[in-house]
Chain A
Amino acid sequence: MVHGGRIPVETARLENGLRVTMSPDRTVPVVAVNLWYHVGSANERAGRTGFAHLFEHMLFQGSANVGANEHFELVQRAGGTLNGSTWLDRTNYFETVPSHHLELALWLEADRMARLLPAMTQEKLDTQREVVKNERRWTVDNQPYGTWWERLPAACFPEDHPFHHSLIGSMEDLSAASLEDVAAFFRTYYTPDNAVLTIAGDFERDTALLLVERHFGAIPSGGPREPLRGMDVPARFGSWRRELVADNVAVPRVFLACRAPVFGGEGYHVSSLTAGILGTGRGCRLHQSLVRDRQLASVATAFTFDFAKGSDLLIIDATARPGVSADALEAAMADQLDQLRTQGPRQGERERILALTETAFVTGMQTVADRADQLSRFATYLGDPALVNQEVPRYRAVTDTQLRAFADSYLGDDNRVSLVFVPSDGAPVSVS
């Protein structure tokens, strides 16, 4: 049960280094198991872009005691839901099951953490390689603006930076991935001391800890891991750079990115509220101005990527109304940044975004899956899952003065990258 917006958080650590977070809530008989490995596309070596994500697919291809696709089968047969996802600096795996199946979820996660490699075969790798190539076609290559989420990090981080290259990977690099890569990646990164395990929902603490010890306790720690190199970048871009992409799209779309304080760092909450003032909800500046008043955009939003290392990005994303040029749209977006810089927040703007943020935080704790994922996130990035309970107070502590100072120092034209998509009639893909 939640008291005063706080959720219960307890932690433990196994001898092999596995960090365990528990948040009991016995109101509904369901429980979430959520495992974060502190590895993502940033850890890939040259020539292997996309590997961390391909590897995530391989984790559903069985382990010593689990057949190919049996992981899905067993969890769904238990009445559970499951998936995994890969990000630049972490990969997560999660199940929500009726609570009497808690041990099944723990055993499945432990079996693949302890004994993945005996189940790996060339055939499975080849099939998943094709599946991932189709995922790339589906989300990137055959979608209008689909390349934005690899172009934007590439434009915002220098070439040798771990966040620069594509998360989904190039077709060429995906083709090059081998079983030896699978084994090396597994031994280096998929170890208990590089993971956080969270259990949230209907369980009893002591029993759960015993189960965790039983299934994960004997898994050996990993060896030393090379830290990510060259993560630090200047706090601001130092200029306003612009990348123009002619693509098979119907109307222009502009992404405007500013470097911003990392998730969990000094100034993060100010940055996050600023993104909300600009671009969350119907009462935000971008919607009021670009969509409603000036009718330059059909959609205009802003958000932070929430990177926890190097530098975060605050991004404005707007799609032009037919007939509106990319230049006019981009100028209007920049104008919104300038106005916030020179005038600061208006009366009531901070209160509005704070109220929305509080509701989103509490409703986000309603499902055990989301709750567990948040706890894993705070444990992985900040070392303390209980910090989740500081979120609302930290947002509340932000002042108008801080918002104005943030806008002044981060939203200026010395800290912008524009990624501009424009329709190209000569593009290779067109609908007739």
Chain B
Amino acid sequence: MSVDNTGVRPIPGPPRPYHFPDFQSVRLSNGVEVIAAPVNRLPVATIRLVIDAGARTESSDEAGVAALTASGLAEGTTRADAATMADEFEQLGGSLSTTATWDATQAATTVLADRFESAFRLLAEVVRTPALPAREINRLREERLAELLELRSEPRGLADERFAGILYQPTSRFSLPEAGSEDTVRELKASRCRTWHERHFVPAAVTVIVCGDVELGRAATVAEEVLGDWMGVAPPPQAVDDSPRNVESAIHLIHRAGAPQTELRLGHVALPRHHPDYYDVVVMNAILGGVFNSRINLNLRERHGYTYGAFSSFEWRRDAGPFSVSTAVATNVTGAAVREAAAELERMKSGPPTDGELALCTSYLEGVFPIRFETTDAIAGALAALRVFRLSEDYFDTYRERIRGVSAEGVMRAARAHLHTRQLQVLAVGDREQIAQGLGELGLGTVSEVPA
């Protein structure tokens, strides 16, 4: 007689060891740092140039210049026009990606490893000697303005962009979108981008990351050749005002007549990446709204069916970035959904998580670590973050241990210290006629309307 053992859960064997890829770095005499992480799983190489030129450094009246300059890098150099440059990259099989975030500008490409040298040469040219031609910069500016116009009928993006203005001081660069607002972008010109480039794109502000089937020696040799004679002095560091605008809870509403759903954001200004509570906060957020079986998602989605998904996140910057809960809920349950989400924040502060919740999240964060770094681009991205946030050299080697070390008490302390429920700001993009009254009755502050 056979025994039905289908209900017996598999017991895992011992894990195989994993180490984040070894990386080494050298510094060229002009200050450019070159980091190489040789990974030869597949014959590809990612090259990423990280420039210490983030939107945080912009003055408020030039908001968007970092993003516009980053886009402009792809529009030709003093040697080759935009179409030629695009073709040269793509004949190598590489797509050029250029972005500016709050803390840095990055230019990157991934190619088959035997094309590494040619790709690096082009990438260096793009970063050092972009033409930033008026015609293309004007076009990119108009495209950004078109994007902002389109956002007015796109509730998700609209909520994301407008939430910043609710959280930060109106005079702070952080109150405007990362890529600038209509008012600031409209004024940007090619000359402004060239000035920005001249000031911030200097060798001492540049880190080159090479990840893939390439050794440090080769990466450094090519780097010396294509970047070694670059001169310039880094500008002095700048501070940004990351203090909160509203110190009391309030509800903000963007009216969208007839909307079948309400886009919701709940949050406040939180803490900088460098804060010593980082690991406690990461685990706390996973329990609150990070993993699928987080408190917020189980409540709003699986218990109530209010939404397709609900999650929370801390956005990490050098300065204090926002904490936010994001979800879109059926219009008729808007008030109830905000109440449930806010209650989960309070509950997080009211006591330690269960052992089960803590174990779920620490073992998730620990176990998923190697899955996050399967590609050369992901590894290069991680190394970029290491420099952007000035983390310690052993960060990747100690990460899992630090996560494992987070206790239930630590999670509770992090919730109490970093979830500011009395300052909670709520943004709802939805139909005023159907949701304003319910929102007003929650006791989370008065409801005021924000123009789209």
- A interface residues with partner B (beta carbon < 8 Å): 1-2, 5, 25, 27-30, 64-65, 68-69, 72-73, 76-81, 96-101, 103-104, 106-107, 110-111, 114-115, 126-135, 137-139, 141-144, 202, 215, 248-251, 281-283, 287-288, 291-292, 295, 298, 319, 321-322, 348, 351-353, 355-356, 358-359, 362-363, 365-368, 428-432
Do B359 and A77 touch across chains, with their CB atoms under 8 A apart? yes
Do B6 and A100 touch across chains, with their CB atoms under 8 A apart? no
State whether A98 and B91 are in contact (beta carbons under 8 Å apart), knowing that A295-B139, A363-B375 are contacts in the complex: no
Nearest CB of B to A97, in Å: 8
Do A359 and B302 touch across chains, with their CB atoms under 8 A apart? no
Nearest CB of A to B327, in Å: 9
Say if the beta carbon of B385 comes within 8 Å of chain A: no
Do B83 and A292 touch across chains, with their CB atoms under 8 A apart? yes
Closest B residue to A282 using CB positions: B86
Do B147 and A283 touch across chains, with their CB atoms under 8 A apart? no
State whether A144 and B154 are in contact (beta carbons under 8 Å apart), knowing that A78-B12, A367-B375, A431-B452 are contacts in the complex: yes
Total number of B residues with any Cβ neighbor in A under 8 Å: 86
A135 to B310, CA, bound (A): 12
A144 to B150, CA, bound (A): 9
For residue A251, which residues in chain B have a CB less than 8 angstroms away from its CB? 146, 149-150
Q: Which of B13, B89, B154, B303 has the most CB of A within 10 A?
A: B154
Do B43 and A5 touch across chains, with their CB atoms under 8 A apart? yes
Closest B residue to A248 using CB positions: B153
Do A29 and B16 touch across chains, with their CB atoms under 8 A apart? yes
15 contacting pairs across A/B (C-beta < 8 A): A65-B7, A79-B365, A79-B367, A101-B367, A132-B308, A137-B260, A141-B260, A249-B150, A249-B153, A250-B153, A322-B146, A359-B110, A363-B44, A363-B376, A431-B153
State whether A115 and B6 are in contact (beta carbons under 8 Å apart), knowing that A81-B368, A366-B375 are contacts in the complex: yes
Do B92 and A355 touch across chains, with their CB atoms under 8 A apart? yes
Closest B residue to A68 using CB positions: B302
Do A101 and B328 touch across chains, with their CB atoms under 8 A apart? no
Do B93 and A355 touch across chains, with their CB atoms under 8 A apart? yes
Do A134 and B330 touch across chains, with their CB atoms under 8 A apart? yes
A126 to B371, CA, bound (A): 34
For residue A135, which residues in chain B have a CB less than 8 angstroms away from its CB? 308
Closest A residue to B110 using CB positions: A363
Using a CB-CB cutoff of 8 Å, which residues 293-329 of chain B contact chain A?
293, 298, 301-308, 328-329
Nearest CB of A to B164, in Å: 18
Ranked nearest first, the 5 interchain pairs of A and B with the lowest CB-CB distance are: A79-B367, A130-B305, A355-B93, A359-B93, A103-B10
For residue B308, which residues in chain A have a CB less than 8 angstroms away from its CB? 131-132, 134-135, 138-139
Say if the beta carbon of B291 comes within 8 Å of chain A: yes
Do A69 and B292 touch across chains, with their CB atoms under 8 A apart? yes
Do A77 and B363 touch across chains, with their CB atoms under 8 A apart? yes
Closest B residue to A101 using CB positions: B12
A430 to B429, CA, bound (A): 12
Q: Which of A29, A131, A282, A298 contacts B90 (CB 8 A)?
A: A282
A113 to B175, CA, bound (A): 50
Closest A residue to B152 using CB positions: A431
Against A, the Cβ 8 Å flags (1 = close, 0 = not) of B144-163 are 01110110111110100000
Nearest CB of A to B289, in Å: 14
Do B83 and A283 touch across chains, with their CB atoms under 8 A apart? yes
- B interface residues with partner A (beta carbon < 8 Å): 6-7, 9-10, 12-18, 41-44, 74, 82-83, 86-87, 89-96, 110-112, 136, 139, 142-143, 145-147, 149-150, 152-156, 158, 254-261, 263, 291-293, 298, 301-308, 328-330, 359-360, 363-371, 374-377, 452
Do A428 and B41 touch across chains, with their CB atoms under 8 A apart? no
Majority DSSP secondary structure for residues of B touching A = mixed
Q: Which of B42, B92, B147 contacts A366 (CB 8 A)?
A: B42
A351 to B15, CA, bound (A): 44
Do A432 and B255 touch across chains, with their CB atoms under 8 A apart? yes
Q: Which of B261, B292, B302 contacts A142 (CB 8 A)?
A: B261
Q: Which of A110, A356, A432 contacts B452 (CB 8 A)?
A: A432
A250 to B15, CA, bound (A): 53
Do A359 and B44 touch across chains, with their CB atoms under 8 A apart? yes
For residue A248, which residues in chain B have a CB less than 8 angstroms away from its CB? 153
Q: Which of A133, A352, A430 contacts B87 (CB 8 A)?
A: A352
A72 to B361, CA, bound (A): 12
A245 to B261, CA, bound (A): 21
Do A65 and B6 touch across chains, with their CB atoms under 8 A apart? yes
For residue A322, which residues in chain B have a CB less than 8 angstroms away from its CB? 145-146, 149
State whether A78 and B305 are in contact (beta carbons under 8 Å apart), knowing that A281-B90, A292-B139, A356-B93 are contacts in the complex: no
Nearest CB of B to A374, in Å: 14
Apart from A282-B96, A283-B83, A356-B95, what 7 extra A-B contacts exist at CB < 8 Å?
Answer: A30-B371, A65-B7, A72-B292, A134-B330, A138-B308, A142-B261, A322-B149
Do A429 and B6 touch across chains, with their CB atoms under 8 A apart? no
Do A98 and B370 touch across chains, with their CB atoms under 8 A apart? yes
A430 to B41, CA, bound (A): 51
Nearest CB of B to A361, in Å: 10
Do B292 and A76 touch across chains, with their CB atoms under 8 A apart? yes
A396 to B131, CA, bound (A): 35
A115 to B7, CA, bound (A): 10
For residue A351, which residues in chain B have a CB less than 8 angstroms away from its CB? 91
For residue A114, which residues in chain B have a CB less than 8 angstroms away from its CB? 6
